[in-house]
């Protein structure tokens, strides 16, 4: 039996006048029941239904395949179509709108289903298990804290350690650079343990840390079970992996996405993964046929897929390291491993793919001709790449569409459950309908723990998922999950007893299929599928069964009212929340002090395309000083004010395409000094820049192009006195800390910031 902790303040001893007349008593700590299993959640990112080996892919994932062979895999498992929402469902057993997590945290809005604030009444699995005597660890991507609270001065109640995890190591946002990540350790920022030049890669580091946390536990508590939430950034953009992993796929995808998709579909049918009679959904008109591409396009797009495949195989290897460590400890048999992907494959690379996503999300076009010279750098630290959307479409074989959308390609994902001691089934496929909200009640049922009615003084809202534990040993058992609504950025769907109604509504500013994203929601056309017989949504029965469709649409509205889905909103950044929720837009003066943590872009000063000045008050020792005064970004885009070789410099990096550097005409003197830069906007995305030393202008230059919408995609924040991660300019190596003394750096912003809500929306949607 599990042992509950003694209530706070309880004392069962005797207190007399002195110790001779008294009886001591020690409160009991919570302890899990004898033989309680370890639990490991592994959450892959942007990995499509057909991209893992045991789901039909030829990408090598032997360690994940081993888990499937030793357990069961679900072929009809569903998510929300996006990362933060799915992860909130997985950890709470409640729907994403019930958790306030309608979309990613960066585009929150002031409505109950949209505020990105998961309520305490939605208990996390970590909080439940902590009370049951488990150790609880989170390693990897988080993306469940409101954007305005992901900085050093923020409250921590919605950080991992505020939601039941005892230790955390990873990155807080939706994505990060695999070679120079923005890392957090528990509640504070840390630097990676080594550099890219020394062989650093984030996935390896995360696996190391997961193993370390378990080792630390076992060194003291040999029998205490643990819950590990292991969430590497693979395979979200940027697609980055060691060259040797990428090169093993050279030439593998030269036949293109059409042929690859046919081959995957044949394997899926042969392994019994998909229902008999499933059709391969047709190629949509916005994805070009491979045979129509030029030779250069084929060469570039094939290499982009080689990078993705290497990234996934590399992640599989490090997942295998964690699994092998459990096996070497003799604990794999009694560890329940649940592996999922959080949504369908991602199409955010667009039709051509990208070598630097910062270009696409700042509305700067990329061409095959411009990208080809960097083809051999793809996957390395000098590129920030994503594959063409043709590969995303193929990655969801045999399904329609992709991530962010409520057709099956966006919401159908791998699920593997592996627990040798507790599950007899080996290698089976389960075709029962299931959803991310079902995982928590399933795991709790399997390990014999009841979700409490109250936790830490808070009355819990009911679980909204349904356990599928009964299906694990019985492939013929019916699902108990009869109804599930979907909504993501205006697209909607409803599943009910084998039927599905679905409608696509474009996201503001990204109507890639030619549809009108401004159209009213009541003009959306609904489709109807009998998905129990038509898994890939190939036969629209809306005209044939209008009454059934009407019933399904009415049911969707009922579910929407029940779960905080309304109001419908496809505006993205236009909701008014993301991309600066924590920044007071009326503020004109920012003061920064040297050292400490970097400041995320969402709460840092916004200098983009507005007149502003940066003034550093510093002390220069005799003999001079050098280093960064203020920097924001990386060599994929940003700016830096710094001192080098006795001169003041300002570098402006336009999205990795060009770098402009201004250098003072006079030397920086010793003693107390004022070092400044002033930008004067002269039009849309352009202006003049001038340097000042002690108030005297000492250089001026035209800046023909400035970054319009987003400086950092990977979490490189604003830094005072140093430069984090990959440096803004190649003129120095990070961190290039200032060797003099900085009193403070003041940034005054006088001009109104340029805003384009539709473009800002595209930026946020790249980061989930």
Stretch among 155-159, 168-172, 716-720 having the lowest mean pLDDT: 716-720
Give the separation between CA 531 and CA 646, rounded to whole angstroms: 70
Architecture of the domain spanning 589-752: Sandwich (2.60)
Helix (H) or strand (E) holding 13: none
> What are 495-533's pLDDT values in tens digits?
999 999 999 999 887 778 888 888 999 999 999 999 999
Q: Give the pLDDT confidence score for residue 713 in this predicted structure.
A: 74
Fold of 41-472: Alkaline Phosphatase, subunit A (3.40.720)
Tell me the three state secondary structure of residue 366.
coil
> What are 370-383's pLDDT values in tens digits?
899 999 999 999 99
Instruction: Tell me the CB-side half-sphere exposure of residue 739, using CA atoms within 13 A.
Output: 13
Q: Give the pLDDT confidence score for residue 585 in this predicted structure.
A: 61
For the cut 90, the answer to whether the pLDDT of residue 628 exceeds it is yes
CB 201 within 8 A of CB 179: yes
Question: Residues spanned by CATH 3.40.720.10 within the chain?
Answer: 41-472
Give the separation between CA 717 and CA 728, rounded to whole angstroms: 11
CB 339 within 8 A of CB 316: no
Fold of 484-575: Arylsulfatase, C-terminal domain (3.30.1120)
The closest of 552, 439, 506 to 95, measured between CA atoms, is: 439
Q: Give the pLDDT confidence score for residue 91 in this predicted structure.
A: 98
Quick one: tokens of 548? Answer: 């059934």
Q: Which residue do the tokens 């230059």 mark?
A: 701
CB 579 within 8 A of CB 573: yes
Q: Give the pLDDT confidence score for residue 766 in this predicted structure.
A: 47
The closest of 600, 596, 635 to 727, measured between CA atoms, is: 635
Give the separation between CA 532 and CA 495, rounded to whole angstroms: 10
Give the separation between CA 535 and CA 372, rounded to whole angstroms: 38
Q: Give the pLDDT confidence score for residue 361 in this predicted structure.
A: 74
- φ/ψ of residue 566, rounded to 5: -85, 150
> What are 664-693's pLDDT values in tens digits?
999 999 999 999 999 999 988 899 999 999
Question: Residues spanned by CATH 2.60.120.200 within the chain?
Answer: 589-752
Give the separation between CA 249 and CA 243, rounded to whole angstroms: 10
Apex CA 738: angle with CA 737 and CA 740, to 5°? 150
The closest of 368, 388, 362, 385 to 637, measured between CA atoms, is: 362
Q: Give the pLDDT confidence score for residue 753 in this predicted structure.
A: 57
670-708 burial code (b ≥16 CB/10 A, e <16): eeebebbbbbebeeebebebbbbbeeeebbeeebeebbb
What distance, in Å, lies between the first and last C-alpha atoms of the chain?
41
- In order, the DSSP letters of 491-515 are EEEEEETTEEEEE--PPTT--TTS-
Question: What are the DSSP E strand ranges found in 694-740?
Answer: 696-703, 718-720
Question: Residues spanned by CATH 3.30.1120.10 within the chain?
Answer: 484-575
């Amino acid at each position: 039996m599990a042992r509950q902790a003694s209530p706070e303040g309880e004392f069962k001893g005797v207190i007399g006048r002195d110790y001779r007349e008294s009886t001591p008593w020690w409160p009991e700590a919570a302890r899990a029941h004898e033989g309680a299993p370890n639990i490991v959640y592994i959450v892959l990112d942007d990995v499509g239904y057909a991209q893992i080996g045991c789901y039909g892919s030829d990408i090598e994932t032997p360690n994940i395949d081993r888990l499937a062979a030793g357990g069961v895999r679900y072929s009809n498992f569903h998510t929300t179509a996006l990362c933060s929402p799915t992860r909130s469902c997985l950890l709470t057993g409640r729907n994403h709108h019930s958790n306030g997590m309608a979309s990613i945290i960066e585009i929150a809005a002031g409505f109950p289903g949209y505020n990105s604030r998961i309520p305490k009444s939605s208990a996390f699995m970590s909080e439940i298990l902590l009370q049951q005597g488990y150790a609880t660890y989170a390693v990897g991507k988080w993306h469940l804290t409101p954007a305005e609270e992901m900085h050093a001065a923020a409250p921590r109640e919605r950080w991992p350690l505020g939601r039941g995890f005892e230790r955390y190591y990873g990155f807080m946002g939706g994505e990060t650079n695999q070679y120079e990540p923005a890392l957090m350790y528990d509640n504070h920022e840390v630097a990676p343990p080594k550099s890219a030049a020394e062989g650093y890669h984030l996935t390896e580091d995360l696996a190391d840390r997961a193993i370390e946390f378990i080792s630390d536990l076992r060194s003291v508590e040999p029998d205490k079970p643990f819950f590990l939430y292991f969430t590497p950034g693979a395979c979200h953009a940027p697609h980055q992996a060691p060259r040797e992993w990428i090169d093993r796929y050279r030439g593998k995808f030269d036949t293109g996405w059409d042929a690859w998709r046919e081959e995957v579909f044949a394997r899926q049918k042969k392994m019994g993964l998909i229902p008999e009679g499933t059709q391969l959904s047709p190629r949509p008109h916005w994805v070009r046929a491979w045979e129509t591409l030029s030779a250069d396009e084929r060469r570039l797009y094939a290499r982009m897929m080689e990078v993705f495949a290497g990234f996934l195989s590399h992640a599989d290897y490090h997942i295998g390291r964690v699994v092998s460590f459990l096996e070497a400890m003799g604990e794999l048999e009694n560890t329940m491993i649940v592996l999922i992907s959080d949504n369908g494959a991602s199409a955010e690379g667009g039709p051509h793919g990208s070598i630097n996503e910062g270009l696409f999300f700042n509305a700067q076009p990329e061409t095959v001709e411009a990208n080809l010279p960097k083809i051999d750098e793809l996957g390395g630290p000098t590129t920030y790449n994503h594959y063409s959307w043709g590969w995303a479409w193929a990655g969801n074989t045999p399904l329609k569409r992709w991530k962010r959308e409520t057709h099956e390609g966006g919401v159908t994902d791998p699920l593997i459950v592996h627990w040798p001691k507790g599950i007899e089934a080996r290698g089976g496929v389960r075709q029962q309908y299931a959803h991310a909200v079902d995982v928590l009640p399933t795991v709790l049922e399997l390990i014999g723990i009841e979700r409490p009615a109250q936790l830490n003084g808070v009355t819990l809202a009911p679980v909204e998922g349904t356990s599928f534990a009964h299906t694990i040993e019985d492939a013929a058992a019916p699902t108990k999950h009869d109804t599930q609504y979907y909504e993501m950025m205006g697209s909607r769907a409803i599943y009910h007893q084998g039927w599905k109604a679905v409608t696509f509504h474009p996201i503001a500013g990204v109507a890639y299929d030619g549809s009108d994203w401004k159209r009213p929601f009541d003009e959306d056309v609904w489709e109807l599928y009998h998905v129990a017989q038509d898994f890939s949504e190939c036969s629209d029965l809306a005209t044939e069964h209008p009454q059934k469709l009407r019933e399904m649409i009415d049911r969707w509205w009922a579910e929407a009212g029940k779960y905080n889905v309304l109001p419908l909103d496809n505006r993205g950044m236009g909701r008014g929340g993301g991309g600066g929720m924590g920044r007071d837009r009326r503020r004109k003066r920012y003061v920064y002090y040297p050292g400490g943590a970097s400041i995320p872009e969402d709460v840092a000063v916004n200098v983009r395309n507005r007149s502003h000045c940066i003034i550093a008050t510093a002390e220069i020792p005799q003999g001079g000083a050098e280093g960064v005064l203020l920097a924001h970004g990386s060599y994929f885009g940003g700016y830096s004010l710094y001192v080098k070789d006795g001169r003041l410099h300002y570098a402006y990096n336009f999205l990795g395409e060009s770098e402009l550097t201004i250098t003072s005409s006079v030397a920086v003197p010793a003693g107390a000094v004022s070092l400044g830069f002033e930008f004067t906007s002269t039009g849309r995305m352009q202006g003049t820049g001038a340097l000042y030393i002690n108030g005297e202008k000492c250089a001026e230059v035209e800046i023909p192009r400035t970054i319009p919408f987003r400086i950092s995609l990977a979490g490189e924040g604003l830094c005072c006195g140093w430069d984090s991660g990959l440096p803004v300019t190649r003129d120095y190596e990070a961190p290039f800390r200032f060797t003099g003394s900085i009193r403070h750096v003041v940034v005054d912003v006088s001009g109104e910031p340029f805003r384009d809500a539709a473009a800002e929306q595209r930026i946020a949607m790249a980061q989930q």
